[in-house]
Every structure is written in structure tokens, then in C-alpha cells.
């Protein structure tokens, strides 16, 4: 049974005559039909058609096509889908052109159109050139063929989108994307932000897959060209480029008879409209909406926004441009996001301003994740004031912190030294039941260390190990050990050193030096020497810093003979003192007023080619002042005045005492005024000594 026979059975003479009798007034610009140029039926055909039911009892096209499907097997899903969609969309066009026609007439028209389309597809005569310039048949008007191509192009576009959506579903469910989503969920990313990231990751995987597919296709095409095969393979439903023309949509190319299913032309039932709406809504959920195309005046405003310079970024000017942009484009959230992405790439300072302004824009549809995302960016760039401003807006809108944002705030506040705010953000994590990771713990512990509270940091480290099951790193142990060492807390330093060894970390040169420094600051040279000898026994060779710490420990008890004996022993083993060791000796000998020895050490420092530390200038100034060497005393005093910002209250106190002892009363008064100008308050005893020229008692070695 051929398609022509099927058509003749379902189309009566009554219907054809009715189509040919349609008034000329219907063929205006919107009309897609002209009177069909169908020749009068032959006598045989007339008798055959008259034997069929009249127009009042026409056979439903869906039933006729279903009968064809029973006779022939379905082996072309792409063609089936194309024809089904084409008939459904074409019905709307026919109804718009002939609103007064009944259902039977519309069905007959659709059958004629589909018959012609299928006939041309079977002959392979519908290509890209046909779509643009050639009319395959004279039966249809030019308007009709134009409409056929518009509809077919839309159908192919929808089919491509559908295939892309189905392909996207597969990548959304792939293991790599699932794994990334699980990780994102563990770190506190939820809601719309997680959904956007999931689509982003799936789209990237799909693009990567398509890229390698294209490479494989190009390789196969290259193989075909090398073997000079005449066959030219064209994918169904693809776009082809005609000579001298742009890309145009074309029907799936087939030659010979096709077997297809058309699941009924009668799609006018209201239920199909409901189904279509649901499919459209689900498609919007699955496939993110594309931003609007920016043209005309709106494009000019957009370019003006993108080109704003820092000096032109006044709030009023920017707000006015954004208001004009909104009025011209009527944007949705996807349009705002597109603008922000462009600003982020081309004008980053302006990006932050626009991102804050649109938080109150109704069309942006601001959600909680937008605040979180902006805070996260500010926190990572250490923009404290900007972060505080966004947090204030969140508090005004009664928006709380999530785990991810709280983690970023912990890092930020610890970096800027705001321990109280860091503790508040850390409490948000624990209150929400989120287990902080090693980075958060590390930031908090370093925050306690920098705030001068290593005991609190040590306590938090124990909680991290007991509750979270997270083992402290060597860096955390070392930071706590350094903090205890700087405070001269030998008990705390010993406790951390023991914990490190139990944790499996061997004593390094750094940890040994820190223990020696702790005992040196505590004034315990004997225990410092024990740690020094243990370090050598452990296989570490003393360096300049470690030796300087040991010499400083002997200085606390004025054990110069032991210090010099140590230096002699080390020199036998090849040790050469450096700036640190010489600086400790200069400080020590200057307190003993050994001018010649001190100047010899200064010459050795100069030979090393390194600048001595600034703190020895305090000792030199005091030595020269006490020895009545006015020229050198004032010379070193000038160096100290030039770098007065680096002096602390203890250094000022020492300098003033030495000047009074050397008889430089006026200079002592001047330094006292400089001390007060720097924000330090001289002690009552020091003021009295300056006023009456009294020499204050100095520290003595025990």
C-alpha cells in the first residue's frame, strides 16, 4: 500500500473541492496556502473515491497512519520524531491561516503537506539549497514552502535541544559529577549554588566529550579522503552549508521509501497543551535559561558600563547607567549574571560595586547564596571592610551564616588579627554541626598564637585531635613551640616538644633551636646547654642562630668565660660566627663598656657584608654615652632618632637612662619628649631622674 493510495482513501472529493474553493481573501501576507493545484481526479479515481465515506465521515488521519505503521516496521526514530513534531507545529500554522475551517479540512490539509514533505524526503530532493532558493514542487505556494522550512527548522532546533538535554542528563548522573557534588555538599555548599555548580561541571564534561568525538569524526573523514572513497556521509538532523550561503536547517536526508510512525495528527486536544507546558517547564529546570541578546541602545549602555574607569565610578553615575540598562533590557537573573561575568573578566573593581548594588534589585531575584558568594570572594582577598559591610546587610535582612562562609570568615579574621570575630565565626561552624577541617583549625590556632595566647591554641589542638580525629601537622606544633619560646615558657615549650615526638615528628634543627631560645629567655643557661649538646648528639650541626641563642643564655648570668670557651670549641669543628652571634657579643660587651673589643666585633660584622641588627645601636649609644664619647654617642643617637618608629618603650627607657648616666641631660629630655610623641608614657622614676639628673639603678647579673 503506497502513500498516494493512502492519501486518496482518506481525502474525499468533497474536501479537495472545499480547499480549492477557499476565497482569495485568505491569501494575504499571513496566509501559508494558495489554492492547491491538484489536478481533477480521473474517472477511475472518482469512482474509487466515491466509494469511500463522505466528508462527514472522513477517516481520522491518526488511524490511517497507525494502519501504515502496522504494515511497515519502525527503523528510523529520528524521522518519526521529526514528522510528529512537524505535524503538531504545522497544525497551529494551518489553523491561524484558516480559522474558519473545521477539523476534517485541517486534517486533510496536513495530510497533503506531510505527503509532499515525505515524498521529497524519499527522493532526497530537500537540501540546504532547496531551503534557500529552490522550490521542489509547484503544488504549493511560495509562502507555504517558506512556512514549511520555518517549521522544519524550528523542529530540528527543538530536536537538537532535546538531544542535548538528554545527553546532559547522562552527564549529570556520571560518577565524576556526583563525586564533585558530594564533596561540595560536605563543605557546606547547598541549594541553588550547588545546582549551578552541578550543571557547570556536567556541561564541562559534555563539552570535553564532544570535543574528542569531533576529533574522532575528523580523523575518520581524513581516512575517507585518503582512500578516495566517493561516499559522503551526512548525519541526520545536522546543518549543512550551501554554496555561498550561511547555515540553513534541512530535513533529515533519506533516499528511497521510509518507514515511520506519526502518532496521530489530532493534537488539538487540550491535554496536549498541558503536556507541552509541563515539558517546557521541566526543560527550563533541566536546561538553564539563556541570557537575552543585547542590541541597539542597550548595547551602547552596556559598553558604557563596561568601560567605566575608577575615577568615573561615582555611585550616582553607575546607578544611573544600571537603571537605564534595566529599563532597556528588562533583565532577568540570567542577564544580571551574564553582566557580572563580563565585568569580572574586564573590569574587576567595578564587578564588586555592581554585585553589591544588584543585591537590592528585584529583577536579580537575590537569594542567600549571592550574599555568601560575595563574602567568600571578599574574605579570600582579605578585604576586611567590604566583608563587614556585606555582613551588616545580611544582619539587617536576618540572614545567618552557612558553614562555607563561616570557614572563609575564620581565615580572614585570623589573618587580620581579629581573634574575637574569628571565634564567633568558628562557633557558627560548631553550632551548625559542621566539622571544621584542618585548614580552619590551623587558622584558629595561628590566630591564638598571634594574639599571644598559645595555651588556648594548644587546647584547641587537643580538641581537634580528640573530637575531629584530625592529627596536628608539624607546622602547627612548630608554631605553638615558637610561641612558647618567645614568651620564655620552658614548660609549655617542653610539653609541645614531647607531644611532637609522640606524634612521630623527629627533633629538627628548628625545634632544637626554639627550645634553646626558650631556656635562654627564661635565664636558664644550664638547661639551654643541655639542649644544645643534645642537638649536636642528635646529629645537627649548630648554625649561627642557634649559637647566638646559646651565647645569649650565658649573657643572662654573665658567664663570659663559658661563652668564649664554647666559641673556641665550635671553631675547632669549623664553625664560623655570623652576624647573629657577633651581635649578641656586641650587646654583651657594650654593657661592660669594652669599647675596643666591641669595635673589633663591628669590623668583623662589616667584613661579612651584612648589616647588623638595629637593636645593637641601642647598646652602642649607651656604651658611648657612659664612656663620655660624645661624638660617637650623638652619632648613634641620630641613627636611633631617624628610626624612632622601630623603638619600643623598653628601648626608649634604656637610651634615656644611659644618656643621663653619661651626663647628656638635654639629649635625655629630648628623647623623653620623642618617647611621649610615639605614644609611650615614661615611668615616674624616669621622669624624676631626668628632672634631677639622678642615675637610676641598673640591672645586675645574678
Q: 32 vs 693, which has greater pLDDT?
A: 693
pLDDT over 50 (residue 269): yes
Range of weakest confidence among 35-44, 79-88, 91-100, 452-461:
35-44
In a domain, 52, yes or no: yes
Q: What are the distances in angstroms from CA 475 to CA 48, 436, 472? A: 96, 18, 8
Tell me what pLDDT residue 454 has: 92
pLDDT band at 367 (very low <50, low <70, confident <90, very high): confident
Structural domain count, the chain? 4
| Phi, psi (deg, nearest 5) at residue 211 | -60, -45
Extract the C-alpha cell encoding 633: 654617642
Q: How many angstroms separate the CA atoms of 466 and 472, rounded?
A: 11
**Residues 368/399, Cβ–Cβ less than 8 Å:** yes
What local confidence, expressed as pLDDT, does residue 608 receive? 87
Q: Which three cell numbers stand for residue 531?
A: 639542649
Question: Which region holds residue 603: left if phi is over 0, alpha if psi is between -120 and 50, else beta?
Answer: alpha
Could you tell me where the DSSP H helices lie in 347-466? 348-357, 368-380, 384-396, 403-416, 419-431, 438-450, 454-466
Q: What angle do CA 121, 126, 130 make, to 5 degrees?
A: 165
Q: Do 139 and 24 reside in the same domain of the chain?
A: yes
Q: How far apart are CA 248 and CA 241, in angstroms?
A: 7
Of 34-38, 366-370, 584-588, the poorest mean pLDDT is in 34-38
In a domain, 465, yes or no: no
Report the pLDDT value the prediction gives residue 526, as an integer from 0 to 100: 94
What is the percent of the chain with per-residue pLDDT over 90, rounded to a whole number?
Answer: 22
Confidence of residue 482 (pLDDT cuts 50, 70, 90): very high
Which of the residue ranges 88-92, 272-276, 593-597 would you say has the lowest mean pLDDT?
Answer: 272-276
Owning domain of residue 115? 3-157
Give the DSSP H or E segment for 214.
helix 191-226
Q: In terms of domains, do 329 and 188 share one?
A: no
Distance CA 3, CA 487 (A): 98
pLDDT at 552 over 80: yes
Residue 153 shares a structural domain with residue 193: no
Q: Do residues 145 and 215 share a domain? A: no
d(CA 86, CA 114): 8
Last residue of a domain, one of 194, 223, 248: 248
Which of 250-264, 584-598, 685-699 has maximum average pLDDT?
584-598
- Whether 554 shows a pLDDT value over 60: the answer reads yes
Average pLDDT in the 141-168 region? 82
For the segment 400-408, the average pLDDT, to the nearest whole number, is 82
Within-domain flag for 299: yes
Does pLDDT of 162 surpass 70? Answer: yes
Say yes or no: 19 and 75 in one domain. yes
Which pLDDT does position 435 carry in this prediction? 80
Q: Which three cell numbers stand for residue 192?
A: 541553588
Note if the pTM is more than 0.85. Answer: no
Does residue 230 surpass a pLDDT of 70? no
Q: Do 151 and 193 reside in the same domain of the chain?
A: no
CA dihedral angle for residue 278, residue 279, residue 280, residue 283, rounded to 10 degrees: 120
Long-range contacts of 449-458 (CB under 8 A, 24+ apart): 449/479, 449/480, 449/482, 449/483, 450/414, 450/417, 451/417, 451/419, 452/483, 452/487, 453/419, 454/480, 454/483, 454/484, 454/487, 454/489, 454/492, 455/492, 457/483, 458/492, 458/495, 458/496
- Residue 41: the pLDDT is 33
**Locate cell 564533585: which residue?**
180
Mean pLDDT of 287-304: 83
| Nearest alpha carbon to residue 280 among 158, 391, 362 | 158
Sequence-separated (6 or more) residues with CB below 8 Å from residue 57: none
Residues 138 and 219 in one domain: no
Of 305, 332, 365, the domain-final residue? 365
Final residue belonging to a domain, choices 248, 275, 306: 248
The set of cell numbers assigned to 610 is: 651584612
On whether the CB atoms of residues 251 and 118 are closer than 8 A, the answer is no
480: left (phi over 0), alpha (psi -120 to 50) or beta: alpha
**How far is the C-alpha of 254 from the C-alpha of 256, rounded, in Å?**
7
Same-domain check for residues 146 and 57: yes
**153 and 10 inside one domain:** yes
Residue 459: predicted pLDDT: 92
Distance from C-alpha of 449 to C-alpha of 443, rounded to nearest angstrom: 10
Residue 34 has pLDDT above 90, yes or no: no
Phi-psi region for residue 523, left (φ > 0), alpha (ψ -120 to 50) or beta?
left
Task: Assess if residue 446 is contained within a domain.
Answer: no
Dist CA 519 CA 489 (whole Å): 8
Give the whole-angstrom CA distance, residue 308 versus residue 187: 37
Average pLDDT, rounded, for the chain: 76
Return the closest-CA partner of residue 458 out of 476, 437, 485.
476
- Residues 50 and 125 occupy one common structural domain: yes
The 10 Å CB-count burial string (b at 16+, else e) for 583-612 is bbbbbbbbbeebbeebeebbeebeeeeeeb
∠ Cα 128 130 135 (to 5°): 165
Please indicate, yes or no, if residue 520 is contained in any of the structural domains. Answer: no
Whether residue 221 lies inside any domain: the answer is: yes
Q: Give the mean model confidence (pLDDT) for residues 541-548.
A: 93
Whether 141 maps to a domain, the answer reads yes
CATH for 658: 1.25.40
CA-to-CA distance for 342 and 345, rounded, in angstroms? 5
624, part of any domain: yes
What is the structure's pLDDT at 140? 66
- Claim to verify: residue 85 and residue 187 sit in the same structural domain: no
Which burial class, exposed, middle or buried, applies to 378 when counting CB atoms under 10 A from its CB (0-12, 13-18, 19+)?
buried
What pLDDT, in 10s, does the model give residues 600-630? Answer: 999 999 888 887 788 889 999 999 999 989 9
Whether residue 98 sits in one domain with residue 45: yes
Amino acid at each position: 500500500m503506497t502513500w498516494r493510495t493512502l492519501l486518496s482513501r482518506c481525502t474525499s472529493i468533497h474536501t479537495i473541492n472545499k480547499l480549492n474553493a477557499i476565497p482569495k481573501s485568505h491569501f494575504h501576507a499571513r496566509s501559508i496556502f494558495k489554492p492547491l493545484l491538484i489536478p481533477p481526479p480521473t474517472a477511475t479515481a472518482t469512482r474509487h473515491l466515491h466509494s469511500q465515506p463522505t466528508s462527514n465521515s472522513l477517516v481520522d488521519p491518526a488511524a490511517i497512519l497507525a494502519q501504515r505503521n502496522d504494515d511497515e516496521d519502525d527503523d528510523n526514530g529520528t524521522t518519526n520524531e521529526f514528522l510528529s513534531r512537524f505535524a503538531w507545529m504545522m497544525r497551529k500554522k494551518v489553523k491561524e491561516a484558516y480559522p474558519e475551517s473545521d477539523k476534517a479540512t485541517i486534517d486533510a490539509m496536513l495530510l497533503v503537506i506531510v505527503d509532499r514533505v515525505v515524498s521529497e524526503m524519499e527522493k532526497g530532493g530537500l537540501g540546504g539549497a532547496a531551503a534557500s532558493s529552490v522550490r521542489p514542487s509547484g503544488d504549493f505556494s511560495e509562502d507555504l514552502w517558506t512556512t514549511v522550512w520555518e517549521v522544519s527548522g524550528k523542529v530540528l532546533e527543538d530536536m537538537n535541544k532535546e538531544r542535548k538535554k538528554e545527553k546532559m542528563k547522562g552527564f549529570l548522573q556520571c560518577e565524576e559529577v556526583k563525586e564533585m557534588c558530594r564533596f561540595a555538599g560536605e563543605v557546606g555548599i547547598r541549594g541553588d549554588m550547588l545546582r549551578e555548580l552541578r550543571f557547570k561541571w556536567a556541561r564541562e564534561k559534555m563539552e570535553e566529550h564532544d570535543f574528542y568525538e569531533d576529533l574522532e569524526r575528523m580523523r575518520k573523514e581524513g581516512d575517507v579522503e585518503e582512500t578516495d572513497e566517493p561516499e559522503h556521509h551526512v548525519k541526520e538532523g545536522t546543518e549543512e552549508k550551501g554554496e555561498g550561503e550561511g547555515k540553513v536547517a534541512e530535513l533529515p536526508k533519506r533516499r528511497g521509501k521510509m518507514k515511520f510512525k506519526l502518532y496521530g495528527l489530532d493534537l488539538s486536544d487540550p491535554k496536549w497543551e498541558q503536556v507541552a507546558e509541563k515539558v517546557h517547564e521541566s526543560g527550563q529546570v533541566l536546561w538553564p535559561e539563556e541570557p537575552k541578546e543585547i542590541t541597539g541602545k542597550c548595547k551602547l549602555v552596556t559598553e558604557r558600563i563596561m568601560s567605566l574607569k575608577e575615577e568615573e565610578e561615582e555611585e550616582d553615575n553607575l546607578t544611573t547607567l544600571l537603571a537605564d540598562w534595566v529599563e532597556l533590557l528588562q533583565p532577568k537573573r540570567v542577564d544580571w549574571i551574564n553582566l557580572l561575568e563580563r565585568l569580572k573578566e574586564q573590569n574587576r573593581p567595578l564587578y564588586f560595586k555592581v554585585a553589591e548594588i544588584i543585591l537590592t534589585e528585584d529583577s536579580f531575584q537575590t537569594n542567600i547564596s549571592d550574599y555568601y558568594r560575595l563574602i567568600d570572594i571578599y574574605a579570600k582577598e582579605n578585604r576586611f571592610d567590604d566583608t563587614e559591610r556585606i555582613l551588616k546587610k545580611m544582619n539587617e535582612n536576618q540572614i545567618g551564616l552557612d558553614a562555607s562562609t563561616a570557614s572563609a570568615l575564620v581565615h580572614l579574621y585570623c589573618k587580620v588579627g581579629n581573634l574575637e570575630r574569628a571565634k564567633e565565626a568558628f562557633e557558627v561552624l560548631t553550632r551548625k554541626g559542621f566539622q571544621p577541617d584542618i585548614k580552619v583549625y590551623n587558622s584558629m590556632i595561628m590566630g591564638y598564637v598571634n594574639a599571644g595566647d598559645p595555651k588556648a591554641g594548644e587546647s584547641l589542638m587537643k580538641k581537634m585531635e580528640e573530637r575531629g580525629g584530625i592529627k596536628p601537622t608539624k607546622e602547627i606544633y612548630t608554631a605553638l613551640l615558637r610561641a612558647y619560646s618567645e614568651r620564655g615558657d620552658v614548660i609549655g615549650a617542653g610539653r609541645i616538644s614531647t607531644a611532637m615526638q609522640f606524634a612521630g615528628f623527629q627533633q629538627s634543627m628548628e625545634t632544637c633551636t626554639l627550645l634553646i631560645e626558650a631556656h635562654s629567655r627564661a635565664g636558664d643557661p644550664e638547661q639551654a646547654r643541655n639542649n644544645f649538646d643534645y642537638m649536636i648528639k642528635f646529629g645537627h650541626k649548630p648554625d649561627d642562630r642557634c649559637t647566638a641563642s646559646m651565647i645569649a643564655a650565658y649573657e643572662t648570668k654573665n658567664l663570659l668565660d663559658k661563652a668564649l670557651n664554647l666559641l673556641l670549641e665550635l671553631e675547632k669543628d669549623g664553625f664560623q660566627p655570623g652576624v647573629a652571634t657577633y651581635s649578641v657579643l656586641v650587646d654583651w660587651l657594650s654593657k661592660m663598656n669594652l669599647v675596643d673589643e666591641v669595635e673589633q666585633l663591628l669590623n668583623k660584622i662589616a667584613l661579612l657584608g651584612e648589616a647588623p641588627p638595629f637593636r645593637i645601636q641601642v647598646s652602642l649609644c649607651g656604651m658611648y654615652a657612659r664612656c663620655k664619647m660624645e661624638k660617637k654617642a650623638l652619632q648613634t643617637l641620630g641613627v636611633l632618632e631617624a628610626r624612632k618608629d622601630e623603638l619600643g618603650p623598653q628601648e626608649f627607657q634604656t637610651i634615656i637612662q644611659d644618656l643621663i648616666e653619661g651626663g647628656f641631660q638635654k639629649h635625655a629630655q629630648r628623647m623623653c619628649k620623642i618617647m611621649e610623641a610615639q605614644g609611650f608614657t615614661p615611668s615616674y622614676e624616669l621622669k624624676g631622674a631626668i628632672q634631677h639628673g639622678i642615675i637610676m639603678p641598673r640591672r645586675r647579673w645574678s
